[in-house]
Amino acid sequence: MAEIALEKVGKTYPDGYTAVHALDLTVADGEFVILVGPSGCGKSTTLNMIAGLEDITSGELRIDGTRVNEVAPRARDIAMVFQSYALYPHMTVRENIGFPLRLAGMDRARAAGKIEETARILDLEGLLDRRPAHLSGGQRQRVAMGRAIVRDPRAFLMDEPLSNLDAKLRVQMRTTISRLQKRLGTTTVYVTHDQTEAMTLGDRMVLMNKGRVQQVGPPDELYRRPHNLFVAGFVGSPAMNFLPAEIQDGALRSVIGRIPLTDRMRNALQRRRGVPRELVLGVRPEAFADPRLGGVHGGAEPCSFTGQVEILESLGAEKLAYLTLDADAAVRSEHLADAFQGRESWSGDQLVARLDPASPVREGDELELVYDPDAIHLFAPDTGVNLTEDA
């Protein structure tokens, strides 16, 4: 088992493109850390640098306190599961799983025992003599896992190991991996672009964008206290609603009504200097409630607004209502335009609410919604920093 420490680790390609900027991260012994972010954010590059498959151009990588920047991958004693599984097509499942043992020169009898044991853990016993071509996607995935765990490495690296599976299998394998990691207690770094996977799997999430770490912390913390607009928008599904808002006479004017600043907001804003008048307001779909089913629980007086239900998605356990709001009440601001650029289908007068399935709402209804003003996040339009959280 091992602690993996990255100190100002960076990757710049010869053509001058920097994939990873001075990344600091310490993965504790036995910890399960998720690197997550949109494609091109540098998460796979980071993983490959830990593996030794890509050179580190700056900074230092330490495993158990020893610098390993220059150590060859095979000498790092780390196993990796690839997105493509990278099973050897000319070897049987047994040979695939046993390959690392064979390279390590383990004697045959011991190796055979290890392979059997691994196959049992992963439910592959009946498949040991098959070739990868004759396996289903899920079975291949398990063989890839088997090849990683068979030699008890110091750490596991997983590069989007579930992204080639269908949705149902993915959920299944997610729990399998989770259980396996807990059982083995091996330090694991796991890369994914799927925020659900990231939320459900790891002890800690490292959210990256454009080669920089945006926030590190337990999934719940990233969800509840996002440091910036990017984190707020990436974590959670459906994504947080972003609306333009303006501070006016101690209250927020926005399309979802006039929101008196709560003490928490006031304190947070006061601690910062030069807070602009026009802000990006963020509120999660699950912050809204249908007052007919009882109000919202929170310290402050609930706020309310109405909008027309354009589309209603019933998902069984919940209902998603896509509302069109009174466009005239929306804050129009040149100043905020930049902050909203690139956000898909944003028009400033639409939002989505996640409602209790018991709500009698129907498509086309004029719906009243209530919410706790303390559930509101405010973001600086230029830097994207969450002003309602302490830096």
Partner 1 sequence: MTTGRNRARWSAVNALVLLYALVPVAWIAALSFKTPATISDGAFWPRRWTLDNYRGIFANDDFVRGLVNSIGIGLISTAVAIAVGTLAAYAIARLAFPGKSLVLGVSLLIAMFPQISLVTPLFQIERGLGLFNTWPGLILPYVTFALPLTIYTLSTFFREIPWDLEKAAKMDGATPFQAFRLVIAPLAMPGVVTTAILAFIVCWNDFLFSISLTSSDAARTAPATISFFTGSSQFEDPTGSIAAAAMVITVPIVVFVLLFQRRIVSGLTSGAVKG
Partner 2 sequence: MTARAGTAARTPSEGRRAERRLGWWLCAPAALVMVLVAGWPVLYSLLLSLQRNDLRFPDRRAWVGLDNYATVLTSPFWWQAFGLTLLVTAVSVVLELVLGMAVAVAMYRTVVGRGLVRTVVLIPYGIVTVAAAYGWKYAWTPGTGWLAGMLPAGEAPLTEHWPAVGIIILAEVWKTTPFMALLLMAGLALVPEDTLKAAAMDGATAWQRFTMVTLPLMKPAILAALLFRTLDAFRVFDNIYVLTNGAQQTSSVSVIAYHNLIGGLNLGVGSTMSVLIFLTVALVAFVFVKGFGTAAPGRDPEGRR
Which H or E run contains 271? helix 263-271
| Partner interacting with residue 103 (select from partner 2, partner 1, none; CB below 5-8 Å by kind) | partner 1
C-alpha dihedral sign at 362, 365, 370, 371: positive
Stretch in the footprint of partner 2 (CB under 8 A) among 38-46, 242-250, 325-333, 373-381: 38-46
- C-beta of 72 vs 391, nearer to partner 1: 72
Give ∠ CA 261-226-353 in degrees, rounded to 5. 70
- Check residue 127 and report its DSSP letter: G
CB of 38 to partner 1, least distance (A): 22
Q: List the one residue from 9, 25, 31, 43 that touches partner 2 (CB under 8 A).
A: 43
Is the CB of residue 6 less than 8 Å from the CB of residue 25? yes
- Residues 44-73: x/- map of binding to partner 2 (CB under 8 A)? xx--x-----xx-x----------------
16 sits near partner 2 (criterion: CB under 8 A): yes
Burial 36-68 (b: 16+ CB within 10 A, else e): bbeeebbbbbbbbbbbbebebbbbebbbeeeeb
* Position 4 contacts partner 1 (CB under 8 A): no
**Distance of alpha carbon 253 from alpha carbon 263, whole angstroms:** 17
246 scored as a contact of partner 2 (CB under 8 A)? no
Q: Which is nearer to partner 2, 34 or 41 (CB)?
A: 41
- d(CA 266, CA 268) in angstroms, rounded, equals 6
Give burial (CB, 10 Å; 0-12/13-18/19+) of 82: middle
Q: Is the CB of 14 or the CB of 360 nearer to partner 2?
A: 14
Find the shortest distance in angstroms from Cβ 158 to partner 2: 14
Q: How far is the CB of 17 from partner 2 (least distance, A)?
A: 5
Tell me which of partner 1, partner 2, none is bound by residue 375, counting a contact when its beta carbon lies within the kind-specific cut-off of 5 to 8 angstroms. Answer: none
DSSP character string of 161-172 = TTTTS-HHHHHH
Q: Are strands 4-12 and 241-248 parallel, antiparallel or unpaired?
A: unpaired
Comparison of 103 and 327: residue with beta carbon closer to partner 1: 103
92 near partner 1, rule: CB under 8 A:
no
Count CB atoms within 10 A of the CB of residue 241: 20
The distance of closest approach from Cβ of residue 47 to partner 1 in the complex, given in angstroms and rounded to an integer, is: 11
> Which residues lie across from 212 on neighbouring strands?
209
Residue 151 or 319 with smaller CB distance to partner 1:
151
Give whichever of 198 and 255 is closer to partner 2, judged by the CB atom. 198
Residues at the contact surface with partner 1, assessed by CB under 8 A: 51-53, 72-74, 78-80, 82, 84, 86, 88-90, 99-100, 103-104, 147, 151, 157
